[in-house]
Structure 1
Amino acid sequence: MFCTTNNTYYYSLLVTIFLVLTFVFPSEGQLSATFYSNTCSNVSTIVRNSVQQALTSDSRIAASLVRLHFHDCFVDGCDGSILLDVGGNITQSEKDAVPNANSVRGYDVVDSIKSTVESSCPGVVSCADILALAAESSVSLSEGPSWTVLLGRRDSLTANQAGANTSLPSPFGSLDDITSKFSAVGLDTTDLVALSGAHTFGRSQCQFFSQRLFDFNGTGNPDPTLNTTYLSSLQQNCPQNGNGATLNDLDLSTPDTFDNDYFTNLLIHKGLLQTDQELFSTDGASTISIVNNFANNQSAFFEAFAQSMINMGNISPLTGTQGEIRTDCKKVNGS
C-alpha cells in the first residue's frame, strides 16, 4: 500500500514537471507568432512595405509570391529550398523542375526583401519565413484576408528537383490525383478548395490549359465543362499551335483582387484550369458543397483560406538547430 501511494506521488510529480517544462521550453518544432519579437521585431513591416513597393510596378507579383510559397512548402516542407540556385552542393535546382521552370516567378522580389531584412537584422530571419510573410502581405494588400503568420522556420541545405517534379499538383491532374497530393502533406479537402481559391488573382499561360480548348483527353473536342462563350474567348487568345506562354487571367472578372469571384466563376463553368473546374464539375465530389459555400459567402472563404495558409505553412518546417539561416536566399552559406 505504501509503495503504491509513493509511486503515484512520484508519477504525479514527474507529470507536473513535464508540463511545466513543456510550457517554459516549448517544442523545438513549434512555430510562433512572436519568434522574432526580440531579434527582428519589424520584420513583418519590412516585408509588407517591400511587397507593396513591388506591386506598384508589377500587378502580378502578389499572386506570384503566394504561388512561390505554395511551391516551396509542397516539396519537403516550407524550407526555402525552391529559392536555391545550382552551385556548391546544389547540383539540381527546384527552380528548374517542370512545374517551376519558366513559370514560377518572384525570386528577385524575395532577394530584395532579404537584402532589406539583412540590413536591419543580419543573420536572423530565414528565407522560408520571408516567403510565408510575403504570401500573407500579398493577399492582404490585394483586399484579401490577413492572418497571423507563425514563424521560426529555418532554411534547407539541399534542394529536391525530383520531389518538385512529383509532389506538386499538376494543372492537368484529376481531382483524385490533386486530393492525394494534398493529403500526402497533411492537408484535407477544405484546404484543397480554399487554397485553390488563390487563383482568384494572377495569370496562367496557355500551355497549362490549351488541351481543354481543342482536344480534351484526346477526344478531338473541347472540354464539355467549359462555358461556350468563355471557350471562344480562350480559343482566340490561345489558338492551336500559338504561343504557349501567352498569359490569361485566372479570374476573368477581378484578376488583381483577392475575392471569392473564383468560386462564382466555377458555378458558371468559367474555371480556367482543368483542376479549377473539376472542383465543381466532378460528379459526386465532396468539393462541390465547399465551392458553393465559398461562392455564396466570401467571409467563409476568407476565414478558411487564412487557416489553410497557416496549415500549409506548418508543413515539415526546419526548426531549432536544423538547417540554417541563409544570408543569401539563392545559395547555402559558405558555398
Structure 2
Amino acid sequence: MALTIKQKLLCLVLYICIFIDGSKAQLQVGFYNLTCPQAESIVRQEVSKAVASDPSIAAGLLRLHFHDCFVRGCDASVMLVSYPWNQAEMDAIPNQSLRGYDIIWYAKWQLEQVCQGIVSCADIIAFAARDSVSLTGGITYDVPSGRRDGTISRASEALANLPPPFADVNTLTQMFANKGLSQDDMVTLSGAHTIGQSHCSSFSSRLNNFSPNSSIDPTLDSTLASELSQQCPQHNTDPKTVVSMDPVTPNTFDINYYKNILTNKGLFTSDQTLMSINATSSLVTKYAQDSATFMSNFAAAMVKMGNIDVLTGTSGEIRTWCHVTN
C-alpha cells in the first residue's frame, strides 16, 4: 500500500532523529577492539617505559587528563599549541607546568603506524592516566573510550575552569559541581595528589605573610612549614625547585595523602581545606583508614570525570597529530 505524504514526512523525521541520535554515540569499554585492538597495550607500553625512566611522570600524565577534562571536556584541547592569533590552554598559567605531552605524542605516532586515523588523542590521554595510576601501585580499571578530539583551545578558559591550589572547600565544591561532579568526587579525585611534585609558587603564600595575625598558615604543621621554608626560600622563583606532594611515598599511589591531611600536612590550601567541614573531613578520615574503598571510589570517579562533555560520533575529529588540528 502506497504511503501518504504525511506518512512519508513522518518516516523522514524518524530517520533524521535516528541518524542524529546515532551520531551521539556513548563511550564504551573496548571501543577499539575491532578497529585497533592494540590501542590500549601500545599506550601502556609507552607509559611503562616513561615511568620506569622517571617515576614522577606518572603524576604528570594523571594531571594532564584532569586539566584536559576540566576545560571543554575530555577532548585533548590541552594538547593544542598556540598561534599568534590564539593563546591555547597549554600556555595558560595553570598549565605551564604540565608534563607528559611527549609521551602522548609518541604513543599517538605509534598508533598511527598500525591503525591510521582511528585512535583519538583524547582517549590516549585517558588510557595514559589510568596506566599511570596502576603502574605506581594504584588500582587498574576499565576506561570507556570513543572520545573524539576538539578543535578549539583557549588559555582564558583554562584560567576560568581549573581549580587553583589556594581554593577553599566551597570554591572547590562549586567548581567540581560545574562539571557534574559531586563533593565526594572532589574529595576522591583530590587523592591524585598522593603522587607528584609542586612548584613553590603553589603553596608559598602559606609560608610567608599569611595573614595580619600569622606569618604561617596555622592549619599547616609547624615542622612541615619549617622544612618547606628551607626548600622554598621566600621570593624563590626558580622553576627547577619542586617539592613532593607526599614526602613519605612520593611515587606510590596510596592513601598517604589523606593521612597527611589528618595531621595538617596537606601541601596546598586546597588539600588542607578538606578538613574544614564535616562532610569532607569524614570522607578524608574514611579514606585514610580504608585503602580498598578509596581505590574503588577513585576508579569510579576517574571514569565519571572522563565523561565530562566528551565529543563522540561525528563530533570533533581524530587528529593526525595531537598538537594541531587536521
Q: Check whether TM > 0.5.
A: yes
- Find the counterpart in structure 2 of residue 169 from structure 1: 163
- Find the counterpart in structure 2 of residue 249 from structure 1: 244
For each residue in 1:252-291, what CA deviation from the matched residue of structure 2 results, as whole angstroms up to 9, or x when unmatched?
11000000010011111111111001112x1x34101110
5 Å-filtered alignment, 1:216-295, equals: 216-217=210-211, 219-245=213-239, 246-280=241-275, 282=276, 284-295=277-288
For each residue in 1:27-73, what CA deviation from the matched residue of structure 2 results, as whole angstroms up to 9, or x when unmatched?
72410002111101111110111001011222211000000000000
Residues 153, 318 of structure 1: 8 Å contact kept: yes
Distance 1:150 1:294 in 2: 25
- Find the counterpart in structure 2 of residue 129 from structure 1: 123
5 Å-filtered alignment, 1:10-29, equals: 28-29=24-25
* Aligned equivalent of 1:119, options 91, 113, 119: 113
* Unmatched segments (≥5 aa) in structure 1: 1-16
* Aligned equivalent of 1:328, options 291, 312, 321: 321
Distance 1:331 1:228 in 2: 47
Distance 1:226 1:65 in 2: 28
* Aligned equivalent of 2:88, options 93, 97, 110: 93
Q: Structure 2 counterpart of 1:84, which letter?
A: L
Distance 2:290 2:57 in 1: 26
Displacement, 1:173? 1.2
- 1:318 matched to 2:314? The reply is no
5 Å-filtered alignment, 1:300-315, equals: 300-315=293-308
State the SS of the aligned residue for 1:216.
coil
TM-score by length of 1: 0.89
Q: Percent identity between the aligned chains? A: 46
For these two proteins, the number of residue pairs brought into alignment is 309
- Find the counterpart in structure 1 of residue 56 from structure 2: 60
Residues 55, 251 of structure 2: 8 Å contact kept: yes
For each residue in 1:60-89, what CA deviation from the matched residue of structure 2 results, as whole angstroms up to 9, or x when unmatched?
11000000000000001000000001249x
Q: Structure 2 counterpart of 1:273, which letter?
A: F
Counterparts in 2 of 1:75 and 1:218: CA distance versus 1, 3 Å: farther
Q: Structure 1 counterpart of 2:322, which letter?
A: C
Residues 238, 244 of structure 1: 8 Å contact kept: no
- Find the counterpart in structure 1 of residue 183 from structure 2: 189
- Find the counterpart in structure 1 of residue 77 from structure 2: 81
Distance 1:181 1:231 in 2: 28
Residues 82, 91 of structure 2: 8 Å contact kept: no
Counterparts in 2 of 1:148 and 1:218: CA distance versus 1, 3 Å: farther
Residues 127, 143 of structure 2: 8 Å contact kept: yes
Residues 64, 106 of structure 1: 8 Å contact kept: yes
Distance 1:142 1:58 in 2: 11
Displacement, 1:26? 6.6
Distance 2:217 2:54 in 1: 32
Q: Structure 2 counterpart of 1:263, which letter?
A: Y
Residues 66, 135 of structure 1: 8 Å contact kept: yes
Q: Structure 2 counterpart of 1:77, which letter?
A: G
Distance 2:101 2:143 in 1: 20
Distance 2:213 2:76 in 1: 41
- Find the counterpart in structure 2 of residue 106 from structure 1: 100
Displacement, 1:160? 2.3
Distance 1:227 1:172 in 2: 17
Distance 1:167 1:218 in 2: 30
RMSD: 1.9
Counterparts in 2 of 1:26 and 1:219: CA distance versus 1, 3 Å: farther
Displacement, 1:244? 5.0
Q: Structure 2 counterpart of 1:153, which letter?
A: R
* Aligned equivalent of 2:31, options 30, 35, 56: 35
Q: Structure 1 counterpart of 2:73, which letter?
A: G
- Find the counterpart in structure 2 of residue 203 from structure 1: 197
